[in-house]
Structure 1
Amino acid sequence: MSSFRPKGVRSLAALAAFAALTAATPMDPANPTCPLNPNWSTSPTMTLTPAVRNGTKVLLAEGRIDAGLPDRLTKALAANPETEEIWLRSPGGDARAGNAAGRVVRSNLGIITRIPSGWACFSACNFVFMGGQPRLVDPGGLFIVHMFTRTGDRSAIDMSVAMGTDATRDLIGDIEQDAALLASEDNDFLIRMGVSRKLLTEVMYRQKAIATEEDKSTRRCLTQDEVKGYNVANNDGG
């Protein structure tokens, strides 16, 4: 397992790095708890790259989460059995694939998930991260949440509108049913991973899924106190 520097030295170094990062990072006016441009990778499909960082064997997981990620992650961990940590940087993607990938991580007991300083893990990435045991969010690392939704599928919505009222009504019913099912799955996942379900009720489900003219905020960056309070992170980062 990875080695850590003495806690006082580690904490001072991490806080100094975080202070330097925040001083140079413009914040997002629409999402005031978050930076304007989170470092969550623009790769259209999450890449999994074995690497060594400070003597620790890690898997760099960077990019958008797609339906094929759980299978790729299973194969990557099998091919690299000495992996100690998974470092995450992602804008999210397929919510159910994120849950499945989180279960893959948890099935490999003892693998640490980490959001390093300067990296961001958003949306479906949250659930991949939660599979780790233990989990680390370094000072300056961003665990960013929002309300999950299917209404981002503009092509399906536009098609249903073109087909008329009945088709639109059917799609809305499907969205509502799927959203309720996803909420149940998310709740079950958090319980299994040892994360407080209050993260859903107090934070995630209080965020808007889609920006409005009155309120453009659609995401929330958790503080270090919050990631520890909700047991998102269950060890000291740094």
Structure 2
Amino acid sequence: MLAIGALVSLSAQGAAQSAMDPANPTCPAEPDWGPAERMQLSTREGEDMNVLVAEGMVDTGFPDRLREAIEADPMIGEIWIKSRGGDARAGNEAGRIIRSYPGMVTRIPSGWACFSACNFVFMGGSIRHVDPGGIFMVHMFTHTGDRSVINESVLDGTEATTELIGAIEQSSALLASEDNDFLIRMGISRLLLTEVMYQVQAVGTDADPSTRYCLSDDEVLEYNVMNVGG
């Protein structure tokens, strides 16, 4: 029986390891972060309250639709979210809208992933919960991680490249300041930025292809991403 138990344990460990992303070993290979389309909102009715489900990409119109959905249903008490990210500033704005409703709960259900701009939507909750198996996935925030944009400017000449890089640096610095202010207002540890987000590459290299990091159960508590018990 012990031998069978050991084999089962090893098989489970092997399956878990094979399900992880080799380039981003803290993250699943195929995260469930919703459809690659603008954020869709739907409501699930419960006995004591209703749940607003947000699935898809954070688009510029999402904050307005989010506010309209919450205002339309006073029974909404939780927001469940999964998203691969999207517009960074729209994510910040959506988070601030959520925070304007006292006691609103945000949740990442088991198996769902919240990445990039979605992080800031989730952090808007007064009460935040990452279910066991839920994925809070982060990276460094920039206004372009697309090398093709820079490559095109290189073809246009040194002046065009210098102007693009200068614009990216200025815009990214401003966004970093906004992110820092947001975390303080939402009660999240600023160390989440300096120790985690800003340590992840925006663009992977041959030597280190990693561009994502998924917080462990301990880390979501350590950085106060989740501010309630399990």
Q: TM-score normalized by structure 2?
A: 0.89
Q: Secondary structure at the match of 2:50?
A: strand
| Total equivalences in the alignment | 218
Query: Map of 1:2-13 to 2, 5 A cutoff?
Result: none
Residue in 2 that maps onto 1:144: 137
Q: What corresponds to 1:41 in structure 2? A: 34
Give the drift of 1:159: 4.6
Q: CA separation of 1:165/1:108 partners in 2, compared to 1, >3 Å: closer, same or farther?
A: same
Tell me whether 189-198 or 69-78 shows the greater mean CA deviation. Answer: 69-78
Separation in 2, partners of 1:199, 1:23: 26
2:117 maps to 1:129:
no
> What is the CA-CA distance between 1:132 and the residue it aligns to?
0.2
Report the secondary structure of 1:49's partner residue: strand
d(CA) in 2 for partners of 1:191, 1:181: 16
1:75 paired residue number:
68
- Aligned identity (percent) is 63
Contact 2:49 2:75 in 1 (8 A): no
Distance change >3 Å, CA 125–CA 54, structure 1 → 2 = farther
1:189 and 2:176 matched: no
Task: Say if 2:229 is the partner of 1:236.
Answer: yes
1:218 and 2:205 are equivalent in the alignment: no
1:158 Cα deviation from its structure 2 partner: 4.9
Distance 1:54 1:29, change over 3 A: farther
Shift of 1:188: 0.3
Report the counterpart of residue 23 of structure 2 in structure 1. Answer: 30
The runs of 5 or more residues in structure 2 that have no matched partner are 1-11
CA distance in 2, matches of 1:24, 1:217: 16
1:176-199 residue CA offsets vs partner (Å, 9 max, x unmatched):
001111111000000000000000
Specify the alignment match of 2:4 in structure 1: none
Deviations 1:126-177 (A, max 9, x none): 0000000100000000000100112235675355334322111101000000
CA distance in 2, matches of 1:54, 1:100: 30
User: 2: distance between equivalents of 1:204 and 1:110?
Assistant: 27
Q: Secondary structure at the match of 2:228?
A: coil
Alignment deviations for residues 40-87 of structure 1 (CA, whole Å, 9 cap, x no partner): 012410111111257641000001111111111111111112101000
| Matched AA of 1:139 | P
For 1:218 and 1:73, the matched residues in 2 are separated by 29
1:195 & 1:103 partners in 2: Cα distance?
A: 13
Give the distance between the partners of 2:152 and 2:64, measured in 1 at CA: 31
Aligned partners of 2:145 and 2:202 also within 8 Å: no
1:203 aligns with 2:196: yes
Q: Give me the whole-angstrom Cα distance separating, in 1, the residues matched to 2:18 and 2:156.
A: 46
For residue 196 of structure 1, what is the amino acid of its counterpart? S
Q: Which residue of 2 aligns with 1:7?
A: none
Query: What's the secondary structure of 1:84's corresponding residue?
Result: strand
Q: Which residue is equivalent to 1:108?
A: 101
TM-score scaled by structure 1?
0.86
1:90 is matched with which residue? 83
2:58 aligned with 1:60: no
Gaps (5+ residues) in structure 1? 1-18
SS in 1 for 2:136: strand
| CA radius of gyration, larger in | 2
Q: Secondary structure at the match of 1:189?
A: helix
